[in-house]
Chains A and B, each alone.
Chain A
Amino acid sequence: MQLCLFLGCNTPAIRPDVERAIRATMPVLGIDLVDADNYVCCPAFGSFPSADEEAWLATSGWNLSIAEEKGCDFVVQCGSCYSSLRMGREHLMHNAAMMNRVNELLDPTGRKVTGKSGVRHVSEVLYREVGPEKIASHLKKSLEGLHGIVQYPCHTLFPSEVVGFEDSARAPKGLRVLTEALGASVDGYSRELQCCGGAGGFMKSTPEQAIEFAQSKFDAILEETQADFIAVSCITCLMFMENVQNTINKKIGEERYKIPVFDYNQLLALCLGFDPKEVSSICNVPRDSVIDRLVPVHPA
């Protein structure tokens, strides 16, 4: 199967090792990736969607036209990009007048949008298209003996009508099943579905409260789980859940929160035998405690 890789802004600019992990792992599992040349910002919810509906949807249309030209769906890791592209497409599909207007705007650029290409999240492709059995059968290393917790990106759960792929958005299973396929034990906890809080303006407008909100989640992780790592599948969750641990530690004057955070494709890449320096080197919470404990898998 072929999918068009939509990278967004943060991944290629700040965490290109995540991009490397995605590009390395997906073809091994039968998903060929083509680049989205000349793509633009998704657009992020805090940009055009907060300023002007027409500019928002014209930008969505610009991006969607790229996948349409390649004749396949987009695959996206960033939660905001995924949700923005899905929502943009949804708006265009349900509003013929807006679809026409956007095509009028796109026309001089040589582009056209029809909505024929869909937008898929990388965790959905791995969960639904590839499946845990196939993943398990390719492993060279495993996370056996390690405990993890999973952070579902809100943007892949809500609103389930537009972005969802789980049987129930209130009881998602995808990331857990995928992480277990790598050999780890996944611990549940009371605040599993609590948003990381990292997107949008919460942290910018009231940092003190946003940090407290995040700390309530991390306290639950420490009290209720044996987590050696956190698996996410969204660039914002990844960066925020690392950085906020350091922020809280500074605030309390104690190194209490230091759980390594990985993008799921990074864990997958490590278990498929890729070089940690390429697929997992950029982080603000050290990851050696996990990388050093990978267990070689001997073919049966």
Chain B
Amino acid sequence: MDLQEASNKDLWKDIYKTGDLHFCFNCSTCVSGCPASHGDPPLLVRNLARLVILGLEEELLQEDTPWACVSCSKCEEMCPMDVKPFEMILAIRQWQSANDETRVPQAIVEIYKRGYTQAVGVNKELRESLGLPPLKTLTENIEQLELFREMLMKTKVVSENDYMFGE
């Protein structure tokens, strides 16, 4: 591959603006403790850092592995150069979502619609049988839910993909 031709030298500025990424010295500590490095294909954090630094946009856009991360943050703890690899994973996902709408996580639609990723507060009988009080959820507070939605509608991912958030 011709790196000169295929690369966008400023890619790291789009994705992960903290200069820390440039301290990455390829040691692979982030990979060795990573649960998702056992996957197939494996999540190789170090390789993702390379793709960002080398500016290989096309390759990075195709990468599914950032989404296998379990968010344990072990890489963040162990990285000797304080690159904050987990934050980099989130930044790569954000960049992918911004450049490919099929990457936008469905979970944000659920949160927009009812405030939660699960149907919180609907198990009223079960709650009562356990001696629990009713929950004051956002889902049932239409006024607050509307305010929450209006707030989100002003953010980029929601306004640019507003068709996803209809009734």
Contact = CB atoms under 8 A, between A and B. Distances in A.
B77 A157 contact: yes
Interface string B45-68: 000000000000000000010011
Contact of B73 (A40, A83, A108, A210): A83
Interface residues of A, number: 67
A19 B97 CA distance: 34
Contact of A201 (B69, B72, B74): B69
Contacts of A108: 147, 150-151
A218 B98 CA distance: 39
A110 B144 CA distance: 10
Contacts of A158: 72-74, 76-77
Contact of B111 (A45, A59, A277): A59
Contact of B130 (A16, A163, A200, A212): A16
A213 B35 CA distance: 8
A155 B69 contact: no
Interface of B: 35-36, 38-41, 64, 67-74, 76-77, 84, 86, 90, 93-94, 97-98, 104-105, 107-108, 111, 115-123, 126-127, 130-133, 135-138, 141, 144, 147-148, 150-152, 154-158
B123 A13 contact: yes
Contacts of B132: 16, 19-20, 23
Given A14-B118, A201-B69, A159 B94 contact: no
Interface stretch (A137-145, A182-190, A191-199): A191-199
A160 B77 CA distance: 7
B144 A38 contact: yes
Interface string A40-76: 1101111111111111001100100000000000000
Interface of A is mostly: helix
Given A50-B105, A154-B74, A58 B155 contact: yes
B147 A155 contact: no
Contacts of A257: none
Contacts, number: 197
Interface of A: 7, 9-10, 12-14, 16-17, 19-20, 23, 35, 37-41, 43-55, 58-59, 62, 80, 83, 105-106, 108-110, 154-155, 157-160, 163, 169, 194-195, 197-202, 205-206, 208-210, 212-213, 277-279, 281
Contacts of B155: 52, 54-55, 58, 105
A196 to B, nearest CB: 9
B35 A47 contact: no
Contacts of A201: 36, 67-70
A163 B147 CA distance: 30
Given A12-B135, A106-B151, A195 B119 contact: no
Given A9-B116, A41-B115, A51-B157, A105 B151 contact: yes
A47 B107 contact: yes
B108 A13 contact: no
Nearest to A110: B147
Contact of A205 (B67, B123, B127): B67
Given A38-B136, A202-B36, A278 B131 contact: yes
B165 to A, nearest CB: 12
Contact of B148 (A23, A52, A109, A198): A109
A53 B104 CA distance: 13
Contacts of A159: 73, 76-77, 84, 86
Nearest to A206: B39
A44 B39 contact: no
A12 B76 contact: no
A199 B70 CA distance: 5
Contacts of B148: 40, 62, 109
Nearest to B143: A38
